[in-house]
Amino acid sequence: MVPGLASSALALALLSVPTQAAALPADPGRAPGPLAGRAVVLDPGHQLGNRSFPEEINRLVPAGGSMKPCNTTGTATRGGYPEATFVWQVSRLVQERLLALGARVVMTRTTNREDRWGPCVDVRGRAGNSLRADLKVSIHADGSYAAGARGFHVIVPPDRAPWTDDIHRPSLRLGRALRADLADAGFPVANYVAGGDGIDVRSDLATLNLSDVPTAMVELGNMRGTDARTMTTPRGRARYARALVAGIRAHLGR
């Protein structure tokens, strides 16, 4: 530590006490908010313009032991509301709340536009690794045509060396926290996914396989079924976002 720097930082901290005292009841040197110092990566699935860039999104990229297409178009409700837009809107609500709680938030895409594509799943998978983020949540919705298919499920990476053996346990813990808070918010567990307990362990997703930080992918519901009624309203999206924030906070113990 450089003494001069330390004392000037202290002086700044002391100077800031009178103006920030109301917002900072305890330690005046710390940034406010229960998630201060935490870094969260949010990965809104797909991109609105993906369908207009077939060459780019069909290019094969490393997926963790295999190669997979860079990305896909995602699904949509029967009424044409795209998954890319739904997960973007929910992610922005989650981002806004996490920032207000003091977290650092990294988004894997910062636009939802018809003239954009990607990023590829390998880039999403590595997002957060270099900054050693506390966790990463990939946000998607499903498109099942099965009759009556509805509900959410959470996908986590398996205990599989050398890819995700190091993050399997904390990722499962994160997945369970997200499942608990989505269920608490009144969202039903998916009735069309094998296992049926709301947690699905999968080794085929680059977004999970390439992560070095605890990660889970949420499929918030089935856009082709009755879940669409919730997804297409601002109130419904706010409910999803609140549940995700609660799960993230539970995982972080804040």
Given the rule CB under 5 A, which residues bind Zn ion?
Answer: 45, 74, 140
Shortest distance in whole angstroms from residue 144 CB to Zn ion: 12
7: left (phi over 0), alpha (psi -120 to 50) or beta: alpha
207 three-state secondary structure: helix
Q: Residue 134 or 142: which CB sits closer to Zn ion? A: 142
**CA dist., res. 224 & res. 104, Å (int):** 34
Shortest distance in whole angstroms from residue 57 CB to Zn ion: 13
Q: Residue 140 or 179: which CB sits closer to Zn ion? A: 140
Q: Residue 45 or 82: which CB sits closer to Zn ion? A: 45
**CA dist., res. 36 & res. 34, Å (int):** 6
Q: Is 219 a catalytic residue?
A: yes
* Residue of 55, 56, 83, 219 marked catalytic: 219
CA 158 to chain centre: 18
Q: Radius of gyration over alpha carbons of the chain, in Å?
A: 20
Q: Residue 45 or 198: which CB sits closer to Zn ion? A: 45
Any idea how long the chain is? 254
**CA dist., res. 35 & res. 15, Å (int):** 24
Query: Token pair of 148, please?
Result: 């009556």
Shortest distance in whole angstroms from residue 40 CB to Zn ion: 19
Shortest distance in whole angstroms from residue 74 CB to Zn ion: 5
Shortest distance in whole angstroms from residue 29 CB to Zn ion: 42
The answer to whether the beta carbons of residues 123 and 62 sit under 8 Å apart is no
**Between helices 83-100 and 234-252, what is the axis angle to 10°?**
50
Which residue is at the shortest CB distance from Zn ion? 140
Q: Residue 88 or 163: which CB sits closer to Zn ion? A: 88
**CA dist., res. 88 & res. 85, Å (int):** 5
Identify the H or E element spanning 209.
helix 206-209
Q: Residue 113 or 169: which CB sits closer to Zn ion? A: 113
Residue with tokens 């920030």: 20
Query: Token pair of 91, please?
Result: 């992610």
**CA dist., res. 100 & res. 165, Å (int):** 33
Shortest distance in whole angstroms from residue 44 CB to Zn ion: 9
Active site residues: 219
